[in-house]
Amino acid sequence: MNQYPGQDIEIIDVGMMYEGSAKPAIKGINVHIKAGEFFSFLGPSGCGKTTILRLVSGFLDPTDGKILIGGKDMRGIGPNKRPTAMIFQNLALFPLMTVAENIGFGLEMRGASLAERRKKAGELLELVDLPGVENKKVNDLSGGQRQRVAIARGLAVEPSVLLLDEPLSALDLKLRQHMRTELRQINKRTGVTFIYITHDQGEALTMSDRIGVMASDGTIEQIATADHLYNNPRTAFVADFVGKNNKIKATVKTIKNGHAVVETSFGLIKGLNPQQLSSGQQAFAFVRPEVISVAGSSENSKNIITCRVKNISFEGAFVTITLDAGGEDTLFMRTHNDGSALFPAIDSEIDVSFGQHNTRLLAGRGYGHA
């Protein structure tokens, strides 16, 4: 249906310093978002995600670098002249107008006739799966319906880029999950480039083609697909922020072709050394809870450590076991409930193992040993 061909967005060395502020909200941002891509900026609140969105939409101009949309420098071009449409966090629908008037607003500003606007509103309501509500007031709609109207209003001006500012955060969990699929489908159906910002990693991981993870200081830590981000975090921040992870204080002892052995409160652990840390350096060993299992025999290529069982939390399909080895770090292990109900007793000692290739040794800003 590709009726609104998306456009590339190039964010080149962009930094933004607000007037009267001591440090930049964002700095050194470099992303090339492809036409039609669903790209998410994921980061904790206050990391400058919204600033990026406002820069792309034209409410702000960057103090450093430049932003190109479809190869064209956007500096000095106001939000009403850019091929972008923004979906606000609170949606910002116009309460005094009907649904059709809301959706037709952008076209009205471009001088389209009433008939044209009504036709477009009908089509778009069809697209967002909400036909027949043209004459309702927006306040008479439910949260999810308002969501769809906001998206329809944004799409009505046939933007190349749709900018979404955490629009799902006000919805309840079930509706949110449903809308994730919906948004993804609208993105693929229309071919419009989507830029989505969120602090909710579940949202970012499920919807996005690619994700840019941002740290609190307004820089991008890593840009990657969801699975790559989860399995191959490049920095300690990403490993810690995306998904549940065990974070174990470690000091590098020896290094050898891409791997390193580190000393931890659980003893010596061997893992991948993607940052090429050198011996003596302080770092963290990151191990996902789901890659840890009770050690069997003949597992000499794995890390095997002896721990004490502190707690067992039964969650139905999964069981999370909390372990420690007398040191300050605890280790979470998450296993499938295979129905045998053979869980270790609390305070018993067990050997657990995890693959060396599943252990990543990472350091990074804000990740020194306190």
Q: How far is residue 87's CA from residue 89's CA, in Å, rounded to a whole number? A: 7
Residue 4 contacts other proteins per CB under 8 A: no
Contact with other proteins (CB under 8 A) among 50, 51, 57, 359: 57
Q: What angle do CA 227, 233, 238 make, to 5 degrees?
A: 110
Instruction: Candidates 150-158, 176-184, 217-225, 348-356: pick the segment binding other proteins (CB under 8 A).
Output: 150-158
Is the Cβ of residue 48 or residue 243 nearer to other proteins in the bound state? Answer: 48
Binders of other proteins among 63-82, rule CB under 8 A?
A: 78-81
**Shortest distance in whole angstroms from residue 335 CB to other proteins:** 46
Q: How far is residue 87's CA from residue 80's CA, in Å, rounded to a whole number? A: 14
What sign does the CA torsion over 8, 26, 183, 59 have?
negative
Q: Answer whether 203's CB lies under 8 Å from 167's CB.
A: no
Residue 98 contacts other proteins per CB under 8 A: no
Angle between helix 143-156 and helix 99-109 axes, rounded to 10 deg? 20
Is the Cβ of residue 102 or residue 222 nearer to other proteins in the bound state? Answer: 102
Contact with other proteins (CB under 8 A) among 90, 142, 279, 348: 90
Site map 109..148 versus other proteins, x via CB under 8 A = xx--------------------------------------
Is the Cβ of residue 93 or residue 272 nearer to other proteins in the bound state? Answer: 93
Is the Cβ of residue 80 or residue 337 nearer to other proteins in the bound state? Answer: 80
Residue 92 contacts other proteins per CB under 8 A: yes
Rounded alpha-carbon distances, angstroms, from residue 160 to 58, 73, 193, 247, 325? 14, 15, 6, 41, 55
Instruction: Candidates 41-49, 68-76, 92-100, 136-144: pick the segment binding other proteins (CB under 8 A).
Output: 92-100
Q: How far is residue 32's CA from residue 68's CA, in Å, rounded to a whole number? A: 9
Beta strands in the chain (DSSP E): 9-16, 26-33, 38-42, 64-69, 72-73, 84-87, 161-165, 193-198, 210-214, 220-224, 246-256, 259-264, 267-272, 282-287, 293-294, 302-314, 318-324, 330-336, 349-355, 359-362
**Shortest distance in whole angstroms from residue 162 CB to other proteins:** 11
Contact with other proteins (CB under 8 A) among 59, 60, 122, 263: 59
Residue 88 contacts other proteins per CB under 8 A: yes
Residue 187 contacts other proteins per CB under 8 A: no
DSSP SS3 for 32: strand
The binding site for other proteins (CB under 8 A) comprises 57-59, 78-81, 84-86, 88-90, 92-94, 96, 105-106, 108-110, 153-154, 157
